[in-house]
Structure 1
Amino acid sequence: MIIPAGAPVVRGIAARLVIAMTLVVIAGGVTAFLVATLVGPALFLQHVTESGGASQDAIGHAEEAFRSASTLATTIALGSATVTSVAASVFLARRIGASLRTMAEASTRLATGRLDTRVAAPGVGAEFDQLALAFNAMADRLDRDEQLRRRLTADVAHELRTPVATIAATLDALDDDVQQLTPATTAVLRAQASRLTRLSADLTAVSRADSGNLHLHRQPLAPGSILSAAAAAATGAYAAAGVALVVDAPHLPDLSVDPDRLGQVFANLLDNALRHTPAGGTVRLSAARTPTGVRFVVADDGEGIDHAHLPHLFERFYRVDSARDRAHGGSGIGLSVTRALVHAHGGTIAAHSAGPGHGAEFLIELPFDGERAPRGAHLQ
């Protein structure tokens, strides 16, 4: 660490601890010496006088001998205690100072971008060990976030590159009269513009959810009507793909939800299920009551998901099969947006699959009390 010129010298915590402990020992020693000097001889003289078996000269010599002996013994004892206490204080202060110095150096390395920095438990107390564990947990989280940021930047660049390149190539071809502005050309331009618009909308939605600027307009809705509306919106796409959409929505108590945002949740999940379910397959929408709310299930009998991918499905731009999903038009943000919207409603979402070829299901649990959102997830 570089200390600016002219800056006051600040003692480290080890020096401060040694000084403090030394002062405590000295204060205790002085107090003990004064007590022994003032109280001891007086008590001794009292006992000798009460015995009545000695002359005044003998009592004076005995008092002087006692005073000298007690002073010498007290001085030696206090000196030995002081040396021992200071030595122990120096040892302890050095260990504590070394532990804090290691933590400070690690924090400095972490602040400069060394995200692989970790510290070992110093073993000087439960509080210091807990501090080391908390530091390592923070470093792990920062490392993961940095990896996600880098992947996010790379994936956004990749997502933008293809439609922008297609639009630029088409415009160049039109300028050079290599290609004519036909309905097919217009369709290509519209498709790529739509892809950019969809990516922008997804990024905006997930960013607003993360920043807490997402506003929910709640109203009481029956779970059955929520699923029916979602199924009605997806019927055309499912019919065109030859995939059956089955709804099982029993009568359940109303939930306080934002119909538009929750509709976006089920639209994302139904779109995801349709992209991974072949023609002739089936996707089921169902709802059931739980002790605290309602559990919604979107289940399909399509391609399924390998267990290794399940923990990462809701991360931004994560794809089980990048080439396949890009070919189907997915931006890789839909499930991340879905999770943010579910959390904003105070609910939870999870994915399950028995493996490739065994389909997948997404479970959403929403509480009857919609205001009871997880800490840090509720958005007004």
Structure 2
Amino acid sequence: MTARSRSAASGRAGGIAARLIIAMALVIIAGGITALLIAALVGPVFFHHHLIEVENSPGTTFEHAEAAFISASTLTLAIALGASALTSLAVSLILARRIGASLGTMSTAAAQVAAGRFQARVARPRVGAEFDELADAFNDMATRLDRDEDLRRRLMADVAHELRTPVTTISATVDALEDGVQQLDPQTVEVLRTQASRLTRLAADLAAVTRAETGALHLDRQPMTPQEVLEVAAESARDRYTAAGVELVVEASTHLPEVWVDADRFGQVLANLLDNALRHTPTGGRVGLGASRHGDGVRLVVADTGEGIDGVHLPHVFERFYRVDTARDRDHGGSGIGLSITRALVHAHGGTITAHSAGVGTGTRFVIDLPAAATVADLPTADLQ
């Protein structure tokens, strides 16, 4: 039995339905015990007393006995029903108050979330597993909404910041041209073209990461060897590395299982990582592409001997527009969301990506773990999109 099935079984065992059944059982037991006690302790005394009272009355002994039995039984049944009713009322009041309080708390918290106060949380009411799961789900939802709202605010601020520089540059250049302060020479055209390209790249990158993160990205997968994947990426970047004076090497283990990838999209993953490595590796440095077996899948590594990343920043390098002070500043170029696109595309392929660095000046390693093609090919088509 899996952990999830055990949790579900535990939830059913402690659910509201089970508690209601227990409550009904308590009512029945209370009535039964009361009837038993009355029948065993009070009934005989009442029966005997009734016989003594009617022994001088007219009628046969059988008639007196029958009347005494009926009276004793009626008293016993009345007391038992009364005890059952009181028990039922007490149990109902307790459950109603606890369920009502839980729903009232949930309603208040939901109203706060609807009003935009995503910090609202609810405690587990302990009424039943369903209510506890509802409270946990509500808290998870509120936490995610709070995080998404924070990300939205930061994203808007970052987009505004990213847009400000090229827009300001273009606006200032146009004003200078209109005032005759500056001439439309090749240098001015290059400035305008560069800033326009920066805006275009930002828009394209935002669209790409949004499609990947929302699952709207179609992947045309095919089996490829890890060696082939790395060689294609290295060949595409070879000229840029040669021009920058940075060595680019491919070191892949042999006899690795194939991976099921979209050649273009995964080429974009490695291109982003190689561009990132090139921007932060000085002339004379080295960038290595590696592939090895990892469990049932394949591990791809892009490692450089460049600036490295402080450990404080490692958990955030895949966030949109996150920049590491000196090592990842805007002077290096890029839209600031290349690594976000990379992570989204890796996740779309069913893999994971992590960043590792021993600190500033020690280089950086990006590690991608992908499932083998044989494993992915067994999944339904819907899971491959």
Q: TM > 0.5 between the two?
A: yes
Which consecutive residues of structure 2, in runs of 5 or more, have no partner in the other structure? 1-18, 52-57
Deviation at 1:338, TM superposition (A): 0.8
Paired letter, 2:276: N
Name the TM-score, length of structure 2 as normaliser: 0.79
CA deviation vs aligned residue, 1:126-162 (integer Å, no higher than 9, x gap): 3322322222111111111111111111111111111
**Residue 328 and residue 374 in structure 1: after superposition, are their counterparts in 2 closer, same or farther (change >3 A)?**
farther
Asked if 2 retains the 8 angstrom alpha-carbon contact of 1:345 and 1:373, the reply is: no
| SS of 1:308 mapped into structure 2 | coil
Which of 208, 232, 247 does residue 235 from structure 2 map onto? Answer: 232
CA gap of 1:147–1:65, structure 2 versus 1, over 3 A, is same
Match of 2:329 in 1: 325
Number of residue-to-residue matches in the alignment:
343
SS in 2 for 1:297: strand
Q: 1:263 aligns with which of 267, 278, 284?
A: 267
TM-score, length basis structure 1: 0.80
Deviation larger for 322-331 or 254-263: 322-331
Whether contact under 8 Å (1:106, 1:118) holds in the other structure is: yes
Q: Deviations over 1:198-217 (max 9, x none)?
A: 11111111122133332223
Q: Give the CA deviation at 1:184.
A: 1.4
Structure 1 consecutive aligned stretches of length 4 or more whose deviation exceeds 6 Å: 373-377
The one of 86, 92, 96 equivalent to 1:93 is 96
Matches within 5 A, 1:348-363: 348-363=352-367
User: Does structure 1 retain, via aligned residues, the 8 Å contact 2:260–2:377?
Assistant: no
Query: Cα RMSD between the aligned structures?
Result: 3.4
Distance 2:314 2:257 in 1: 31
How far apart are residue 85 of structure 1 and its match?
A: 2.4
Change (3 A) 1:218 1:125: closer
The 1:285/1:226 distance shift into structure 2, 3 A limit, reads: same
Cα separation, 2, equivalents of 1:134 and 1:214: 28
Equivalent residue, structure 2, for 1:139: 142
Residue 113 of structure 1, aligned match among 113, 116, 140: 116
Structure 2 counterpart of 1:196: 199
Contact 1:344 1:377 in 2 (8 A): no
Bigger CA drift: 115-124 or 337-346? 337-346
Q: 1:7 maps to which residue? A: none
CA 77–220 in structure 1, closer or farther in 2 if over 3 Å, else same = closer
* Conserved 8 A contact 1:346-1:374: no
Report deviation, 1:322.
7.8
Matched, 1:172 2:175: yes
Q: Pick closer, same or farther for the CA change 1:377–1:295 going to 2, 3 Å.
A: farther
**Contact 1:345/1:378 (8 A) holds in 2:** no
Identity of aligned residues (%): 65
Distance 2:167 2:297 in 1: 45
Amino acid at match of 1:300: D
- The CA distance in 1 between the partners of 2:136 and 2:383, in whole Å, is 28
In 1, Cα distance between equivalents of 2:119 and 2:99: 24
Is the CA contact (8 Å cut-off) linking 2:277 and 2:287 kept in structure 1?
Answer: yes
Q: Distance in 1 between matches of 2:345 and 2:168?
A: 32
Cα distance, 1:297 vs. partner?
0.2
- Amino acid in the other structure paired with 1:147: D
1:221 to 197, 219, 224: 224
Asked whether the equivalents of residues 354 and 368 of structure 2 are also in contact (C-alpha less than 8 Å), the reply is: yes
